[in-house]
Structure 1
Amino acid sequence: MTLPLGCVVQLDRHTRVVDGGRALLGGFPTRLLRLTPKARRRLVGRTLPVRDAASALLADRLLDTGMAHPVVDSLPSPPDPRYTVVVPVRDRPHQLDRLLRSIGTDTPVIVVDDASHRPAAVAKVAAEHGARLIALPANVGPAGARNAGLRLVSTPYVVFADSDIVLEPDTVPTLLRHFADPRVAMAVPRITGLPTAATTWIERYENARSSLDLGAHPAAVRPGTPVSWASSACVVARVDALAEGFDERMRVGEDVDLCWRLVAAGRRVRYEPAVRAAHEHRVRVGDWLLRKAVYGTGAQPLARRHPEHIAPAVFAPWSMAFAAALLAQRRWSVPAAGVVFGVVTARIARKLDGTDHPYRSAVRLTGNGALATLAQTSALLTRHWWPLTAVGCTLSRRARRATAVAALADIALEYRRDQATLDPLRYALARRLDDLAYGAGVWFSALKGRSSAPLRPRVTR
């Protein structure tokens, strides 16, 4: 039994109860899970209380498939909830002081000074808050600094918090509840902007669409899903699950690598947006663009370590045909795309045979797949492949049309979803600059590594 008795899991918002409650449709990848009569009786609406070994086994299955998530308030605190906070820092004494004030003095803290230019200022702040200071003689990067602190942790759990983070009082205690599941190795909160008035338009954009903000819905962090990675800006982890910790050879993307290694080892990583950690976003355009480009440079090191997960887009054969037909922009394009859509819908409906309204469900699933295909194609044109797109636009009217439609549709859809406190024009500018900077970083890493792996889409069934 994985989850203890008394816990509750709730169906994911995308999981549908079909066939009069006899089956569930959802998860990542989407699948049909038929329920036995006993299993059906254990569901209470869209929740599953864990009352015995059988319900715990079903809950475990739903968690593995991404069809459901634990209700965090139903999870008990671990028997030994002690934790140590490890803070890697290089200079930034003001931010460090703000973080340590949010932690308080009752929690052991290890501050790892990663060869600051002014180490005395960092040492003074650490001493004022009673934190243990580890001063590294040479700069080793965030991964190495975190590992240096991790080696000194003697509590069952460790919290990694970057110096530009502010912790809320309930963040760590709530995340610790996820470790009631013995397979959980790491849990992360939602990363949002500081609760202060944004001073620049870039900061307002980041508050609406930060790369660190993984959204408002709980999720299992797994490659190939909507939440495929989690930032190490704020992490709670089980010490005995981390082994050697972060890969110190990586200066960027080390958090993605750790997540994927834990998942490959059969552990779970939970994203819990019910609690938050505030992050000081960059407010200057130059600093912001540089950080976005740096994120992109992690593509090649990740491709070398996890070639099956780093593709900029993942297509099924039918979705490639669907996108290619539309990109051709010929008279036959829409009819051809319609034929592909119809064939796929029929194939899915056959797999759903025996349920109520199989064709209705199949149309919905195919439609979601078509929308995901268009979104990924748009991202390739405007983000990952933009240097090729720029060349294509100078040579082809069709390329210009496709790029314009992709860019405008992306902005229209994302602006509405993000509810940005920024006018549409500057939001659009920030969105395109975001894509250009990140894409430039990906291309730089691919050229440096002499590999096209970070740029190649993956085709899978």
Structure 2
Amino acid sequence: MTTAPLPQGFAVRLNRRARVRDGGRTLVGGAPTRVIHLTDKARGVITGRTLRVSDRVSALLADRLLEIGMADPIAAELPGLDLGQVTVVVPARDRPDALARLLAAIGDRHHVIVVDDASADPAAIARVAAAHRAELVPLARNMGPAGARNAGLRRVRTPFVAFVDSDVVPEPDAFAILLRHFTDPRVAMAAPRVLGLRMPGRDRWIRRYEDARSSLDLGVEPGIVRPRAPVSWVPSACLLARVDALGAGFSADLRVGEDVDLVWRLAAEGWRVRYEPGAIVRHEHRTAVPDWLRRKAFYGTGAHLLAQRHGRDVAPAVLTPWSAAFALTLLAQRRWSLPVAALIFAAAAVRMSAKVKGSDDPTRLALILTSDRAVAAVWQTTALLLRHWWPLAAVGCVFSRRLRRTVAAAAVFDAVADLRRTGAHLDPVRYALARRLDDAAYGAGVWYGAIKGRSLQALLPDMRHPRRVRSRIWPTFRRRRRDDRPRHRPTHGKR
């Protein structure tokens, strides 16, 4: 991986989750959350919430903010790269009509490699590839999406490769927008937002739910992609990557979760992966309920396989002892629940204030950070009951009135909040039904994978003790320091 600095003119903007406090001296945000105190010189290179690289100090600060997930590149202000440097690899198995639709959308702007993953009718795939002047790579046996992509990757001779599934249609400027991110020499991969493809005669209620809540749609906010970040993975439906960073490519033995595995391996090697919602591709969502449920369950089975490779990064929740105790105390619904939860919250806030004493108002900042953690803990705990642990919750509801009340309230609140957030064109009753079916199918897949693999690792929360991760960025460099990194010392951080 290169250690080259960000180029002159590279622009980043503090993201929505980053808070500016103490007159711009303190930044709070990132993934995991941390507090950074800036010196006057570092503050001077940030205008409003935007930073443009103009010298070594601004380059180092921009790189640091990108790395901790506190800022994102302004894609529209980055220089464009030559689209001719991108080869498109399309893994295909049957569905010649969808393949023809994709190749027509790509046109002649790129060299295209179609990998026929042992189709039942290979002649149909060959005819479509020939009609669009695409290179055809037929495979004698079915290798799965990961193996098919790798077969195409081995034939790529350009610096960049775009992996695009045959049931996807990229919008005209999608690749151009993604390619801008590679102005950052540490970016190995960029992914677009995946929205639904309008299909005549398929305006079913599940399609309307998927349009608003698809597993492949990661939202409107850009971000760095890595474990525990707000965007922790990106789907392989469409990915643009730097060929030199990929090595051998996807893990060919994985039939599900191969995209998550590749992203996390790149992140572990020090590369950056970016999610860019400004670039959009359209995906042909499943609209028949049985097919839709099977696909959701299939996604869930990948959790066990990923847990074997990536350990606790796959955990369905991340909690500290105090936040877990706070959430469980409230969910107990006893007379003592509120006062005990208040005592737990107060103790956590006092401890937090000692960690952020470099702030002008450490008490207020501690209350904000503690509140964020408390709300997240309650939300994660109720989400466990509805999604990953629903079989256990269903059994518990038979015997416990309090648990029935908790699960019912959580289900209603989750559906209402989610419908309001997504703005789905679907009535509340059917949206709530689809939401619960979605969670039930995925959770069933997780349990199936765990039982088959004889391990509950993918179902267990990650219990972590609070850590002091303080960061102070200095924009000046003393002569005795031989590297170009800003001086910093730990101040605070939390998950």
Tell me the TM-score normalized by structure 1: 0.98
Deviation at 1:367, TM superposition (A): 1.8
Deviation at 1:74, TM superposition (A): 2.1
Aligned to 1:11: 14
Deviation at 1:196, TM superposition (A): 5.2
What does 1:29-108 align with in structure 2 at a 5 Å threshold?
29-78=32-81, 82-108=85-111
* Among candidates 285, 291, 294, match of residue 290 of structure 1: 294
Aligned to 1:257: 261
Q: Deviations over 1:28-67 (max 9, x none)?
A: 1111111111111111010011001110000011011111
Aligned to 2:400: 396
Deviation at 1:81, TM superposition (A): 5.3
2:380 corresponds to 1:376:
yes
Deviation at 1:421, TM superposition (A): 0.5
* Among candidates 225, 228, 234, match of residue 224 of structure 1: 228
Question: Greater shift after overlay, 90-99 or 353-362?
Answer: 353-362
CA contact (8 A) 2:83 2:175 kept: no
Distance 1:277 1:29 in 2: 29
Distance 1:100 1:442 in 2: 35
CA contact (8 A) 2:83 2:110 kept: no
Change (3 A) 1:80 1:412: closer
Distance 1:409 1:397 in 2: 18
CA contact (8 A) 1:20 1:356 kept: no
Deviation at 1:79, TM superposition (A): 6.7
CA contact (8 A) 2:189 2:239 kept: yes
Deviation at 1:121, TM superposition (A): 1.2
Distance 1:449 1:46 in 2: 47
Aligned to 1:177: 180
What does 1:187-202 align with in structure 2 at a 5 Å threshold?
187-195=190-198, 199-202=203-206
Distance 1:345 1:160 in 2: 47
Distance 1:80 1:402 in 2: 53
CA contact (8 A) 1:81 1:157 kept: no
Residue type at the aligned position of 1:90: R
2:211 corresponds to 1:207:
yes
Q: Deviations over 1:199-224 (max 9, x none)?
A: 11000000000001111011000101
2:471 corresponds to 1:452:
no
Q: What SS class does the counterpart of residue 365 from structure 1 fall into?
A: helix
Residue type at the aligned position of 1:422: L
* Among candidates 315, 339, 342, match of residue 338 of structure 1: 342
* Among candidates 437, 441, 445, match of residue 445 of structure 2: 441
Deviation at 1:92, TM superposition (A): 0.7
Deviation at 1:156, TM superposition (A): 0.5
Q: What SS class does the counterpart of residue 337 from structure 1 fall into?
A: helix
Residue type at the aligned position of 2:371: G
2:308 corresponds to 1:311:
no
Distance 1:80 1:160 in 2: 14
2:383 corresponds to 1:364:
no
Residue type at the aligned position of 1:194: L
Distance 1:357 1:214 in 2: 35
2:427 corresponds to 1:423:
yes
Deviation at 1:360, TM superposition (A): 2.4
Distance 1:118 1:327 in 2: 56
Q: Deviations over 1:8-39 (max 9, x none)?
A: 11001111111111111111111111111111
Q: What SS class does the counterpart of residue 307 from structure 1 fall into?
A: helix
Aligned to 1:274: 278
Aligned to 2:359: 355
Distance 1:457 1:296 in 2: 16
Deviation at 1:332, TM superposition (A): 0.4
Deviation at 1:372, TM superposition (A): 1.2
Aligned to 1:109: 112
Aligned to 2:140: 137
Q: Deviations over 1:85-131 (max 9, x none)?
A: 00001111111111001100231101111111111111111111001
Deviation at 1:349, TM superposition (A): 2.1
Residue type at the aligned position of 1:76: P
Residue type at the aligned position of 1:243: G
Change (3 A) 1:47 1:81: farther
2:417 corresponds to 1:413:
yes
Aligned to 2:489: none
Deviation at 1:351, TM superposition (A): 2.1
Aligned to 2:239: 235
Q: What SS class does the counterpart of residue 344 from structure 1 fall into?
A: helix
Give 4+ residue runs of structure 1 displaced > 6 Å after superposition: none
Distance 1:31 1:101 in 2: 47
CA contact (8 A) 2:234 2:263 kept: yes
Which structure has the higher relative contact order (CA within 8 Å, separation 6+)?
2
Q: What SS class does the counterpart of residue 278 from structure 2 fall into?
A: strand
Aligned residue pairs, count: 461
Distance 1:139 1:337 in 2: 55
Distance 2:296 2:148 in 1: 22
Distance 2:353 2:198 in 1: 48
CA contact (8 A) 2:81 2:176 kept: no
Tell me the TM-score normalized by structure 2: 0.91
CA RMSD of aligned residues (A): 1.2
Distance 1:395 1:29 in 2: 38
Q: What SS class does the counterpart of residue 312 from structure 2 fall into?
A: coil
